[in-house]
Chains A and B, each alone.
Chain A
Amino acid sequence: GAVVSQHPSRVICKSGTSVKIECRSLDFQATTMFWYRQFPKKSLMLMATSNEGSKATYEQGVEKDKFLINHASLTLSTLTVTSAHPEDSSFYICSARDRAYWSSYNEQFFGPGTRLTVL
């Protein structure tokens, strides 16, 4: 149980185009999903917290107009990188919190990540 998928697993696009990444909780409902970014040999950095049915909360320094997040259902959140540039190339990882599972652990389940390369 507690599987999170991401699609696509890798994408290559031209500079100036927009790219959409999907994050799905396959066997549970997630009221909250998180989007992270990871550069090579670096730690995961939280970009934004996505709550179903409401606007995402962005971390300081993350441009909300650049990284559009939509959490339209309890099993799907999307991250759209608009007008992508080479510096947006990175590994994007989502995670989801199971709404039905609450404990002191407050578990998050991570997706397999999406490798974005902007040429």
Chain B
Amino acid sequence: KNQVEQSPQSLIILEGKNCTLQCNYTVSPFSNLRWYKQDTGRGPVSLTIMTFSENTKSNGRYTATLDADTKQSSLHITASQLSDSASYICVGQGGGATNKLIFGTGTLLAVQP
């Protein structure tokens, strides 16, 4: 069964600190792994997309890693800002005819001053 699991479920950090969010996925066949940021009451916004051949990808203060062997991914946020408070969703996409997005339940991040 295709599924994506994320940890932790929620996280509180102080402004300026770094944090790392985890994602384990079981998606077969596998096409790519994505991280989205979703502000409350808004649609998801893409942060990074990686295929199985990519190990790391950065987007500003966001750095995602992918280990296709262990089927794990992480999202590292550097020097957090109050505006980083949001839900971060890990999404796997199947390959071939089954190219649906498999969504994780997200990690709710709260950055406090």
Q: Which of chain A's residues have a CB closer than 8 A to the CB of B89?
A: 43-44
Binary interface encoding of chain A residues 101-119 relative to chain B, with 1 for a CB under 8 A from any of its CBs, else 0: 0001111111111010000
- Whether the Cβ atoms of A107 and B101 lie closer than 8 Å is no
Cβ-neighbour of A43 out of B32, B51, B93, B105 (below 8 A): B105
Give Cα distance in the complex from A111 to B32, angstroms. 21
B90-113 contact mask (Cβ, 8 Å, vs A): 1 or 0: 000100000111011110100000
CA distance A42 to B87 in the complex (A): 10
- Are B104 and A113 in contact, CB atoms less than 8 angstroms apart? no
Q: How many A-B residue pairs have CB under 8 A?
A: 46
Question: B60 at interface (Cβ–Cβ under 8 A)?
Answer: no
Any chain A CB within 8 A of the CB of B16? no
CB distance from B84 to the nearest CB of A (A): 19
Closest to B106 in A: A43
Contact B31 A106 (CB under 8 A): yes
Residues from chain A with a CB closer than 8 A to the CB of B108 are: 41
**Is B44's CB within 8 Å of the partner chain A?**
yes
Given contacts A104-B32, A105-B51, contact A112 B43 (CB under 8 A): yes
Partner of A104, one of B31, B36, B100: B31
Q: Check if A113 sits within 8 Å of B43, measured CB to CB.
A: yes
The reply to whether A110 and B49 form a contact with Cβ atoms under 8 Å apart is no
* A42-B105 CB under 8 A given contacts A105-B49, A112-B43: yes
Tell me if B14 is interfacial: C-beta within 8 Å of chain A. Answer: no
- Chain A residues in 8 Å Cβ range of B45: 110
Binding site for A on B (CB under 8 A): 31-32, 36, 41-46, 49, 51, 89, 93, 99-101, 103-106, 108
The 9 closest A-B pairs by CB, nearest first: A110-B43, A43-B103, A105-B49, A43-B105, A113-B43, A112-B43, A44-B103, A110-B44, A93-B43
- Can you give 26 A-B contacts (C-beta < 8 A)? A6-B43, A41-B105, A42-B105, A43-B103, A43-B105, A44-B44, A44-B101, A44-B103, A45-B103, A46-B100, A46-B101, A95-B43, A104-B32, A104-B51, A105-B32, A105-B49, A105-B51, A106-B32, A109-B46, A110-B44, A110-B45, A112-B43, A113-B41, A113-B42, A113-B43, A115-B41
